[in-house]
Amino acid sequence: MKYSKFLFPLQILADVLLLEISWLILVRIFGYEILAQNVIVSLLAWFISIYLFGQYRVRRFSRIPKTIQNVSRLTFIFLGTNIMMQQAILKNEMGLKFYFIFHFAFFISIVLFRVASIKIMKQYRSLGKNFRNVLLLGETADTKNLCKTFKESVELGYRMKGLIPKSNYDFEEFKTQSITDDVNEVFIAAGTFSNDEFNEIVDFTDNNLIKIRVVPNFSGFLASNLKLDYVGFQPILVHREIALDDIVNSTLKRAFDIVFSLLVILGVLSWLMPLMALIIKWESKGAVLFKQKRSGINNEDFDCYKFRSMTVNSDSNSKQASKGDARITKVGAFIRKTSIDELPQFFNVFLGDMSVVGPRPHMVKHTMEFSNIVDRYMLRHYVKPGITGLAQTMGFRGETKTMHEIKGRITLDRFYIENWNFFLDLKIIYKTVVNGAKGEENAY
């Protein structure tokens, strides 16, 4: 672990070099004069942005999706800070186009460097290098899970030196083992030791430069995002933090929805809708578009649009489509199999009722039924429903016939809400397109 102290300075140095290289390349491309003061102001703006953001450092347990999300936010702050400082201090005449392209190029270069760094360090640690010796105090479900993670995820670089249950704990033996095994970090189960014992452990670890980590008793909060917050000076833990409550995240997602839906509306639906109108009308009587009340964000109803795939019937707002359903037309069977029937929902996305990706909206009747039999079902209404979702790409599409299918879909919906990031949306869209090209087994 002796080289870990160099990783953070190397990260800063690499970012500075990437910034300077990106700036110099773009200045040459745009034909501007290369001035040292512009680079200096940009560097100053970058360090101010780092200070304002506060989540800069890549850590041993950093995950790639979260790291990319942090870099995205940081470069967004840097964009505004840099433009403001360049204009205020130097009053140069570089246009907004230059700054947007520069910051995008800088963002891509940093993301590539971060991802490569994380992968290289994980590979390096999996070889037994750059490790930390850890000792766990207190046997709980959480410390046992942590112990299992340390043993199975060697790329994290932790070496287990033992898990001491409270019943076997002796302070003198703990001190001896910590020194003998050259322990770097101690993980202690919260609530397992008395205040006096805990303070005794903290005094010893502080005096011997051993870091201490407290493991909260959160085994019952599976897949929940817990966030530290403060009420006055009192620290509290927020049980569930919705990623899309963040203004940056919600703005990014909404901007993507508008652009993506417009591309589909103008590029596909502009010619597909007249064609589908002819085909649907030719086979059966009724409207081309089918409009149905669905449950949206905050459980507010909205009109969800689809190409009509069934004959006009009185059960359309209460009965799910099933395999061999006599109501489905021949054209309807094809467009349901290929998900073409869902395309008019891009109008819902453009209008703001839906998102491209999110939990699939259920009929109002089914929302009322499922909310009474599935725990935490209503959590899926914290965000806008989507044309496609994580549950659908994982096989939970179409008719929900069993409690297993309902709970499976809801579990994945909750995971999506709590772990949203922009790149997860892109991955879901990609898998949806691939599944649609192959033909969905459960689409009927």
- Each residue of 387-408: pLDDT tens digit? 999 988 887 766 666 677 788 8
Residue whose C-alpha is closest to residue 136's, from 185, 170, 179 = 185
- pLDDT in the model for residue 444: 46
Pick from 7-21, 33-47, 168-182, 309-323 the range whose average pLDDT is largest: 168-182
Task: Identify residue 301 by its one-letter amino acid code.
Answer: D
Name the token pair of 31: 């034909």
Secondary structure in 3-state letters for the chain: CCCHHHHHHHHHHHHHHHHHHHHHHHHHHHCCCCCHHHHHHHHHHHHHHHHHHCCCCCCCCCCHHHHHHHHHHHHHHHHHHHHHHHHHHHCCCCCHHHHHHHHHHHHHHHHHHHHHHHHHHHHHHHCCCCCEEEEEECCCHHHHHHHHHHHHCHHHCEEEEEEECHHHCCHHHHHHHHHHCCCCEEEEECCCCCHHHHHHHHHHHHHCCCEEEEECCCCCCCCCCCEEEEECCEEEEECCCCHHHCHHHHHHHHHHHHHHHHHHHHHHHHHHHHHHHHHHHHHCCCCCEEEEEEECHHHCEEEEEEECCECCCCCCCCCCCCCCCCCECHHHHHHHHCCHHHCCHHHHHHHCCCEEECCCCCEHHHHHHHHHHCCCHHHHHHCCCEEECHHHHCCCCCCCCCHHHHHHHHHHHHHHHHCCCHHHHHHHHHHHHHHHHHCCCCCC
- pLDDT in the model for residue 223: 44
Better-scored residue on pLDDT, 138 or 61: 138
Task: Identify residue 4 by its one-letter amino acid code.
Answer: S
Q: Which helix (H) or strand (E) holds 417?
A: helix 403-418
Q: How many CB atoms lie within 10 A of CB 287?
A: 12
- Tell me the CATH class for 132-220: alpha beta
Min mean pLDDT across 22-31, 92-101, 201-210 is at: 92-101
Share of the chain above pLDDT 90, in %: 20
- Each residue of 302-348: pLDDT tens digit? 999 999 888 776 666 556 665 656 677 888 788 887 878 889 999 99
- Each residue of 22-79: pLDDT tens digit? 888 888 888 877 778 888 888 898 888 888 877 677 777 677 877 888 888 888 888 8
∠ at Cα 35 (30, 37), nearest 5°?
A: 125
- pLDDT in the model for residue 310: 82
Average pLDDT for 224-231: 63
Task: Look at residue 355 and tell me whether its pLDDT is greater than 70.
Answer: yes
Task: Identify residue 237 by its one-letter amino acid code.
Answer: L
Where along the chain do its domains lie?
A: 4-126, 132-220, 247-438
- pLDDT in the model for residue 33: 74
Task: Look at residue 425 and tell me whether its pLDDT is greater than 90.
Answer: yes
Record the pTM: 0.59
- pLDDT in the model for residue 239: 61
- pLDDT in the model for residue 53: 78
Average pLDDT for 74-96: 82
- pLDDT in the model for residue 225: 57
- Each residue of 253-301: pLDDT tens digit? 999 999 999 999 999 999 999 998 898 888 888 888 888 899 999 889 9
321 φ, ψ to 5°?
Answer: -70, 140
- pLDDT in the model for residue 300: 92
Pick from 2-6, 125-129, 387-391 the range whose average pLDDT is largest: 387-391
Rg (CA), the chain: 27
